Structure 1
Amino acid sequence: MKSTVLKYGLYAMISGFVFFGLPFLFGMEMDYDYGEAIGYTAIVLSLLFIFFGIKYFRDKENNGKVSFLKALGIGMIIALFSAAGVALMDLIYTTLINPDFAADYSVYYLEKLQNSGISAEEFKTESAKFKQQMQDYGSPGFMAGLMFVTVMLIGFIISLVSGLILQRK
């Protein structure tokens, strides 16, 4: 099991790092409206290795059998690798590639909020809340940690589904 988890975990880590970082590595300007979709697509692609890792373990290393809990455990360990790759790229992006990300995103979000048609009073309230959130949570380390947790949550769902599909007694 260790070799399978390590092999597929490294695949997930490398793909998470590369897929999540492709737009930044090639110097593409990120459109925030599409950036979220691109990011989640990259995360899910890297987490597909969960399914393949469980299947490989079941078929090649465990005589065609794997329990749901064993599959879930394998999936979550592979998800840890993917989460580390995505979080590392996020940290590199927000510290080295675009250290002004939080400020740039704040300008974008506040302009979008102002153009959304809300009243001046609502804008004042919402923008104050957003500015406080960015002050509290806008550090590169916190954002990378948030990406790690996000990938782990999606990885848990993919591990659950993969475990249900691939379990055999």
Structure 2
Amino acid sequence: MRETKRRPRMLRYGLIYGGIAGAITILVMVIGMMFATEPGAGTSSMLVGYLIMLLAMVMIFVGMRQYRDREQGGLISFWTALKLGALMALVAGVAYVICWEIYLGFTGSAFIDGYTAAAIDKLDGQGLPEAELQKKIDEINKMGEMYGNRLFRMPMTMLEILPVGLIVAAISAWIVQRKPSVV
């Protein structure tokens, strides 16, 4: 009977702490985009975005530790913690994708238009031969066109955050695991 009670509780922790991690990521990024001076600001904004995701994913560690201490009597295996952490990362990823889609619904193609324009502007200053420059511009424009397709964009958006969450989940599982002590 204890095993059947444990799963719904694990799901609850996954939804709560994964949702918090996703909400933190979304909130900070949307605020950042609202105050950004130029759309598609490039590498520095990408690094800041991943740093924000990494910091938000600390909630995975907190959720695992809470689950271990409150529901497991202070004991948890690496694999149980990893499953919980993966669930939290997935919930955070789904929340991130849904909110990104809502944001794009309000702003239209402004993000990808700004991003492709910034990428093309960056190419212009590199002094590439005309044929190579045009080839790269065509690639950027094709990517922008593909980004307009929700079936392409949603998995790509999930791939932005999910690997970060899974890495944090694996490290956190290793840290919080506790097995019964043998006397």
* TM-score normalised by the chain length of structure 1: 0.86
Give the deviation of 1:134 after TM superposition: 2.1
| CA displacement 1:9-28 (0-9 Å, x = unmatched) | 2222322221221223x444
Give the % identical residues.
23
Larger of the two Rg values belongs to structure: 2
Aligned to 1:29: 37
Determine the C-alpha separation between the residues in 1 that align with 2:38 and 2:117: 14
| Mapped contact 2:38–2:114 kept (Cα < 8 A) | no
Q: Tell whether the 8 Å contact from 1:43 to 1:86 is kept in structure 2 after alignment.
A: no
Q: Which runs of 5+ in 2 are unaligned?
A: 1-9
Q: Which residue number corresponds to residue 119 of structure 2?
A: 109
| Counterpart selection for 1:7 from 16, 19, 24 | 16
Q: Write the distance in 1 (CA, Å) between the matches of 2:170 and 2:135.
A: 40
Structural mapping, 1:127-138, within 5 Å:
127-135=137-145, 137-138=146-147
For 1:68 and 1:108, how far apart are their aligned partners in 2? 44
Q: Which of 41, 50, 55 pairs up with 1:45?
A: 55
Q: 2:89, 2:166 within 8 Å by CA — same for their partners in 1?
A: yes
Q: CA RMSD in A?
A: 2.0
User: What amino acid does structure 2 have at the position aligned with 1:147?
Assistant: T
1:95 and 1:140 in contact (8 A); partners too: no
2:165 counterpart residue number: 155
What's the counterpart of residue 20 of structure 1?
29
1:63 aligns with 2:73: yes
Residue correspondences, number: 167
Gaps of 5+ in 1: none
Q: Deviations over 1:113-165 (max 9, x none)?
A: 11123222221221122222222x21162334312122111111111111111
8 Å CA contact retained: 2:69, 2:75: yes
Structure 2: distance between partners of 1:89 and 1:109:
24
Output the TM-score relative to the length of structure 2. 0.80
The 4+ residue runs of structure 1 with deviation greater than 6 A are: none
Tell me which moved more, 57-66 or 118-127: 118-127
**Aligned match of 1:77:** 87
* Corresponding residue for residue 96 of structure 2: 86
